[in-house]
Amino acid sequence: MSLHHLNPQQTEAVRTTHGPVLILAGAGTGKTRVITERVVHLIDKGVAPHHILAVTFTNKAAREMVARVRGLLKTKRSLQAAAEEGSKPVICTFHSFCVRVLRQFIDRLGYKRNFVIYDPREQVGVIRRLTSDWTKSHITIKPAEWLSLISRLKNATSWESLGMDAGTQRLAERLMERYGSALKACNAVDFDDLILLVLELFNTDKEVLETCRKYHRYIMVDEYQDTNGKQFQLLKALASEHQNVCVVGDDDQSIYGWRGAEIANLLHLEDHFPGIRVIKLEQNYRSNNTILKAANAVIRHNPLRKDKTLWSSKGEGPLIQLMVFETEEAEAQAVAEGIEVQRLSKRIPWNHQAILFRTNLQARPLETALRQSKIAYRLVGSQSYFDRREVKDILAFLKVLINPDDDISLLRIANVPARGLSAKTMQTLLQLSQDRNTSVWSVMHHSDLDTHLRAAASKSSRGFVSLIEDQRRFLKEENKMGLAHWARSFLDHIGYFTELKHSEKDPKIAENRMQSAQELVSSIDSLTASMGSVKGEDRLNQFLEEIALDQDRLDEKDKQGEGVTLITMHSCKGLEYPHVHIVGLEQGLLPHTRSIDEGSLDEERRLFYVAITRAMESLTISHCETRNKFGQTTPCQPSVFLNELPDKLVELADDVFKRPVSPSSGAAMFDALKSSLDLSDA
């Protein structure tokens, strides 16, 4: 297989297929191309496709990788037969891989194979239920905070490393035990459990471990710097025997320590895989050298890192623009005006511009300024499609049909639309389920139901049970009926669409809700199209699994558009924009107050590095002298990171504005203004 289109370092990374390999891939150095080419190269050398496992962190990245591998294989006719149906490389996320294992073996841990995966919203619901009586004890920790703490405990190498006080730790231990029991009673798991349960299987059932090792003989991990301790344990368990493991990562882009990522997994990988081959990818294909020199200069201030120097063949590029403003409103207005001037004078479209910021609160003045300037924009990270009421309702209905023991989903839709199951009735059923350590569904089946509920409520309960069981029987049959058609019929039959139409006074809002509901229902068939004529239950379960693991698939539709991108620095990793504006380079924002208090700036500096390296052609950086905090005007100090930018790469905005406009650029701006105003020559 020819690799002439790769640079020498990329070629070496592709051809080094045996033994442990660490590919240090700097920002924009083509790591995805290397991974996909490596997969195809392995197949070309005779490795059975199904023996190859490539793991990444996002479903979007996995889909892109699958598409690229498929495209490369199509260009190699000799490889098409090797990659035929039933013999394909496994390319997925860590969580998707674990689901594959658990669907086969989770019954060995006392679960049913049709388990459901609780998302964060459902997890918070469980925590809220379990801690409902704790407020009486003056415990003020919020459910979301408890959930975050439980997740940290599950993934921590040691509890001592979390530094919590003894009282909080005892409460956390108690809650985690109750939380685990509650999920298991519902035959449910959360995202942390997916990895932890696989590790439990590997530790307690050697047959399962050996089966997985035999199947996955060549392992690649993308974005390795983002792995936590448990993910590393999973990788080590799978790869320790054959040693054919290749990890691709960049310690300079490790920015998720706050959610458990351990940079030590990359920095000390040689301790676990002796003799590992290290290959550096340093040629950047995204940015010009001015941007890269600035990024290199900043990140070199971090003492603990693998040395690498990014460079580009794209030339030097313009100097970085530095702007200083009195207030955040002035900053936002100037950025908006600058974007519009570039659109008019240089024909730079809005979707080529991105504004990056450290915290979500910084978005408010930016949105205001863009609206006032009539500039279209999209705010990445706003309300998720899956946070909409109608979407949550429909998914809850579908989950109950697959797993009626799912208390969280059942409690949500038991009285939607209203069918005589009041909040008081559901509270009674929930209390009975907790007293008997069983699910609400089991209580609704119990022969003594009439002794605990009023006659009307008992009748409504049995009617709901009958409705669900009828649909479950239908789904268990082998049929060719489209699931989307069935789902529409079911939701229409129970009166859900009618209820949705009349739930909003504003017809436009009601129409939007109907549209998002129909969009979700329509997606059922598209996400299960590859399954063919199998039982509706299996197809529906596959759909729910896809949704649980890949919510960004539908969320991405909301992020499409032609506007300026507003995005946090944490959300921008993996993305690129021709023109980038980094705002709020101040002490307390970047670096954040928390990192200053803790005396550790390394991760904040890496965050700044990531932000810089999103820019392809131009970079603007700004900070304010004052900022409004909690209703008070507070003075601000420039970020220490500004001092780390080489003077020769930066020019102040005052210097820019003093330069005269050239005749050619002036004419271009005038022509653009005329065009935008639809003016004609007199």
Q: Per-residue pLDDT tens for 357-404? A: 998 889 888 998 998 899 999 988 765 667 788 888 999 999 999 999
The one catalytic residue among 192, 193, 222, 537 = 222
* DSSP conformational letter for 143: H
The one catalytic residue among 223, 226, 393, 555 = 223
Report whether pLDDT(678) > 50: no
Map tokens 């459902």 to a residue.
122
Query: What gap in Å lies between CA 102 and CA 194, rounded to an integer?
Result: 8
Q: What angle do CA 397, 398, 403 make, to 5 degrees?
A: 100
Burial pattern 27-64, b for ≥16 Cβ within 10 A else e, equals: bbbbbbbbbbbbbbbbbbeebebbbbbbbbbbbbbbbb
Average pLDDT, the chain: 85
* DSSP conformational letter for 661: P
The one catalytic residue among 10, 31, 488, 620 = 31
Query: What gap in Å lies between CA 336 and CA 566, rounded to an integer?
Result: 12
The pLDDT of 151-179, averaged and rounded, is: 76
Closest C-alpha among 141, 100, 140 to residue 117: 100
Residue 204: the pLDDT is 94
Residues whose CB falls within 8 Å of the CB of residue 314, separated by 6 or more in sequence, listed in order: 287, 288, 289
626 labelled catalytic: no
Query: What gap in Å lies between CA 347 and CA 191, rounded to an integer?
Result: 45
Alpha carbon 541 to chain centroid, angstroms: 22
Beta strands 377-379 and 577-582 are unpaired
Highest mean pLDDT among 116-120, 306-310, 423-427, 508-512: 306-310
Give the pLDDT band of residue 157 (cuts 50, 70, 90): low
3-class secondary structure per residue, 562-574: CCEEEEECCCCCC
Query: What gap in Å lies between CA 540 and CA 344, rounded to an integer?
Result: 50
The pLDDT of 460-469, averaged and rounded, is: 93
Residue 384: the pLDDT is 60
Token pair, residue 399, equals 């989950």
Residue 125: the pLDDT is 83
Report whether pLDDT(190) > 60: yes
Residue 633: the pLDDT is 85
Helix (H), strand (E) at residue 513: helix 507-527
Residue 235: the pLDDT is 95
Query: Are the beta carbons of 601 and 591 closer than 8 angstroms?
Result: yes
> H-type helices in 205-257, by residue range?
206-215, 229-239
The pLDDT of 291-306, averaged and rounded, is: 96
Report whether pLDDT(323) > 90: yes
Query: What gap in Å lies between CA 9 and CA 13, rounded to an integer?
Result: 6
Lowest mean pLDDT among 5-9, 48-52, 450-454, 595-599: 595-599
Residue 659: the pLDDT is 47
Report phi then psi at 625, rounded to 5.
-85, -30
Report whether pLDDT(562) > 50: yes
Report whether pLDDT(669) > 70: no
Burial pattern 259-277, b for ≥16 Cβ within 10 A else e, equals: ebbbbebbeebeeebeebe
Coil, strand or helix: which one is 503? coil
pLDDT tens figures, 25-74: 999 999 999 999 999 999 989 899 999 999 998 888 888 888 888 888 87
Report whether pLDDT(682) > 70: no
Query: What gap in Å lies between CA 58 and CA 14, rounded to an integer?
Result: 22
Give the pLDDT band of residue 661 (cuts 50, 70, 90): very low
Q: Over pLDDT 90: what percentage of the chain?
A: 49
The pLDDT of 571-577, averaged and rounded, is: 92
Q: Establish whether the linkage from the previous residue to 591 is cis, with ω within 30° of 0.
A: yes
264: Cα within 13 Å, side-chain hemisphere: 8
Query: Are the beta carbons of 352 and 634 closer than 8 angstroms?
Result: no
Token pair, residue 459, equals 């009748």
Report whether pLDDT(671) > 70: no
Residue 680: the pLDDT is 39
Q: Is the dihedral of CA 256, 259, 263, 266 positive or negative?
A: negative
Give the pLDDT band of residue 645 (cuts 50, 70, 90): very high
Report phi then psi at 561, rounded to 5.
150, 175
Using CB atoms within 10 Å of the CB of residue 542, give its burial: 0 to 12 exposed, 13 to 18 middle, 19+ buried: middle
Give the pLDDT band of residue 129 (cuts 50, 70, 90): confident
* DSSP conformational letter for 592: B
Coil, strand or helix: which one is 219? strand
Report whether pLDDT(159) > 70: no
Q: Over pLDDT 70: what percentage of the chain?
A: 87
Q: What angle do CA 547, 551, 555 make, to 5 degrees?
A: 130
Give the pLDDT band of residue 660 (cuts 50, 70, 90): very low
pLDDT tens figures, 478-487: 666 678 888 9
Report whether pLDDT(146) > 90: no
The pLDDT of 99-106, averaged and rounded, is: 94
The pLDDT of 585-609, averaged and rounded, is: 90
The pLDDT of 619-646, averaged and rounded, is: 90
Residue 96: the pLDDT is 92
Alpha-carbon distances of 513 from 92, 378, 415, 491, 641, rounded to whole Å: 32, 20, 19, 14, 45
Helix (H), strand (E) at residue 629: strand 626-629
Query: Are the beta carbons of 70 and 82 closer than 8 angstroms?
Result: no
The one catalytic residue among 305, 573, 614, 627 = 614
Query: pTM of this prediction?
Result: 0.79
Map tokens 């197949």 to a residue.
43
The one catalytic residue among 32, 58, 243, 551 = 32
Give the pLDDT band of residue 658 (cuts 50, 70, 90): very low
Query: What gap in Å lies between CA 371 and CA 668, rounded to an integer?
Result: 25
Closest C-alpha among 225, 227, 231 to residue 198: 231
Find the largest Cα–Cα distance for the chain.
90
Query: Are the beta carbons of 359 and 567 closer than 8 angstroms?
Result: no
12: Cα within 13 Å, side-chain hemisphere: 13
Higher pLDDT, 275 or 168: 275
Residue 78: the pLDDT is 52
Query: What gap in Å lies between CA 626 and CA 324, rounded to an integer?
Result: 10
> H-type helices in 528-640, by residue range?
536-549, 552-558, 593-598, 602-612
230: Cα within 13 Å, side-chain hemisphere: 24
174 labelled catalytic: no
Query: What gap in Å lies between CA 142 and CA 490, rounded to an integer?
Result: 37
Residue 631: the pLDDT is 66
Using CB atoms within 10 Å of the CB of residue 630, give its burial: 0 to 12 exposed, 13 to 18 middle, 19+ buried: exposed
Query: What gap in Å lies between CA 115 and CA 547, rounded to an integer?
Result: 14
Coil, strand or helix: which one is 377? strand
Report whether pLDDT(202) > 90: yes
Query: Which residue type does 670 have?
Result: F
pLDDT tens figures, 205-250: 999 999 999 999 999 999 999 998 899 999 999 998 899 999 999 9
Residues whose CB falls within 8 Å of the CB of residue 214, separated by 6 or more in sequence, listed in order: none
pLDDT tens figures, 508-555: 777 878 888 888 888 787 666 665 556 778 888 888 888 888 665 555
The residues pairing with 92 across neighbouring beta strands, listed in sequence order, are: 55
- DSSP sequence for 313-350: SS---PPEEEEEESSHHHHHHHHHHHHHHHHHHH---G
223 labelled catalytic: yes
Q: What order of strands is seen across the sheet that includes strand 650-652?
A: 377-379, 564-568, 353-357, 577-582, 615-624, 320-325, 650-652
Lowest mean pLDDT among 235-239, 255-259, 285-289, 329-333: 255-259
Residue 140: the pLDDT is 66
31 labelled catalytic: yes
Query: What gap in Å lies between CA 509 and CA 503, rounded to an integer?
Result: 10
Query: Are the beta carbons of 411 and 444 closer than 8 angstroms?
Result: no
Residue 657: the pLDDT is 46
Helix (H), strand (E) at residue 512: helix 507-527
